[in-house]
Structure 1
């Protein structure tokens, strides 16, 4: 790709994977998704890497899925890895959208969650919608005190992002308010609810996240992998995977409804209107 959307750096036993579209608040186009996938494969295959830190370049971690930048590439085909479903290119309507989102959104995030090394999301500024998916498939979240989290896609008539972890990440009544209002949740509140591990001043964010990564890296690699698998399995036994499957169907019903009644699967929303609606 002409634009390097992801940077990869080894810092001793820690791999730092950085989303690199700061001019667009690290909005995730398909190029970025597949570069992230390649970076996580690289970290998984490197015997010297014990922990992965996921970061975003610039003022914001990620504003979510790319729904309007000049680099939007939803109509392009990539080397599919997460799903055996056929390519979305050359299809139309629900068939196209379901195929693409099964691959680049739900499929990718599920596989990254299974990466057999601990992952830490290092979050500053905005972590919105698709950005939540990236943070939530990590094991731990370290946030700056100016970070905020939001999933405003109900404004599109859609019941949350594709990786629907909300009722497992936070109490269901909080998840309802989070989705029903689309309001921003400050990092301090997310920490109170237990789904952010640490909140520190912005200037201390990198040192805090890397220090935690190095501390974890002192543990046995196989022990970490088995512990991660044990917790993931416990979440799935509590219905997380099956719940995501059921909501993914509702998600696509909403897209189809929007397209049928208004001709736009996003309910007429744009990146600008979504950003302006939050508080």
Structure 2
């Protein structure tokens, strides 16, 4: 297992943050998310950084939150405990990264599953490799959607319902068609194409970029984006509450079923 979890470098005004757990398809644990947040903060605070790129080492961008079928079975779970943990590290971090006043680009290859969407969607732009697949199959666990509900905004209501109801993945081409990603490029060109786009943006005046980002994000907020995300997080937490009453665990079915669903999409 990688000791780094996430790596970081800055050059030519571009901060590159790389998920570095390729051996587990960049699955996320709380340590990784805390490290990732620290690096987002470092990039935000560095006056030499004009653009932030989030990418991943290995075949896949992220298979979502790390799941271990035995881990935590004996823990004393409460809705309050889950709510506090997820409000900080899931929806809290994602909203924070979305609002960092510097342009950001996600470079996505392979699978981007459930919790992976919490990393990609907060970025301002998404460049997808032609093999990228995006999905949120957590209805398998008796939960209605990931904690950061960008689904309706990113996909439109009909497609958002379809992928939540069925758990199916959408391809990079379909994501481009509905406007969820900005560009689709061959896998071999993903890093270079993302870097080229970041360089084009980094040439612009940083205050102009900040105000352009604020204009778009604030327009979405006037339409109710942040309020909706926060409200749906409460709905998500209700799903955990239901699971706890049914089986004493945050999800309803055995985690092995979810692992099989994820494996089928790789």
Q: TM-score, normalised by structure 1?
A: 0.89
Secondary structure class of the residue paired with 2:40: helix
The match for 2:226 among 234, 241, 244 is: 241
**Aligned match of 1:46:** 46
TM-superposed deviation, 1:277: 5.9
**Following the alignment from structure 1 to structure 2, what is the Cα–Cα distance between the partners of residues 115 and 276?**
33
**Aligned match of 2:261:** 274
**Following the alignment from structure 1 to structure 2, what is the Cα–Cα distance between the partners of residues 66 and 230?**
35
Select the structure that is richer in helix.
2
Matches within 5 A, 1:1-279: 3-68=3-68, 92-270=77-255, 271-276=258-263, 278=265
TM-superposed deviation, 1:236: 1.2
TM-superposed deviation, 1:237: 1.2
**Following the alignment from structure 2 to structure 1, what is the Cα–Cα distance between the partners of residues 215 and 248?**
44
**Following the alignment from structure 1 to structure 2, what is the Cα–Cα distance between the partners of residues 111 and 119?**
12
Kept in 2: contact 1:256–1:265 (CA 8 A): yes
Kept in 2: contact 1:25–1:59 (CA 8 A): yes
Kept in 2: contact 1:16–1:54 (CA 8 A): yes
TM-superposed deviation, 1:276: 4.4
**Following the alignment from structure 1 to structure 2, what is the Cα–Cα distance between the partners of residues 39 and 262?**
37
Unaligned runs of 5+ residues in structure 2 are: none
Structure with the greater relative contact order (CA < 8 A, sep ≥ 6): 1 or 2? 2
TM-superposed deviation, 1:19: 0.6
**Number of equivalent positions:** 263
**Following the alignment from structure 1 to structure 2, what is the Cα–Cα distance between the partners of residues 69 and 21?**
19
Unaligned runs of 5+ residues in structure 1 are: 76-89
Kept in 1: contact 2:77–2:249 (CA 8 A): no
Secondary structure class of the residue paired with 2:168: coil
C-alpha RMSD over aligned residues: 2.1
Secondary structure class of the residue paired with 2:81: helix
**Following the alignment from structure 2 to structure 1, what is the Cα–Cα distance between the partners of residues 60 and 107?**
10
**Following the alignment from structure 1 to structure 2, what is the Cα–Cα distance between the partners of residues 278 and 26?**
15
TM-superposed deviation, 1:274: 3.3
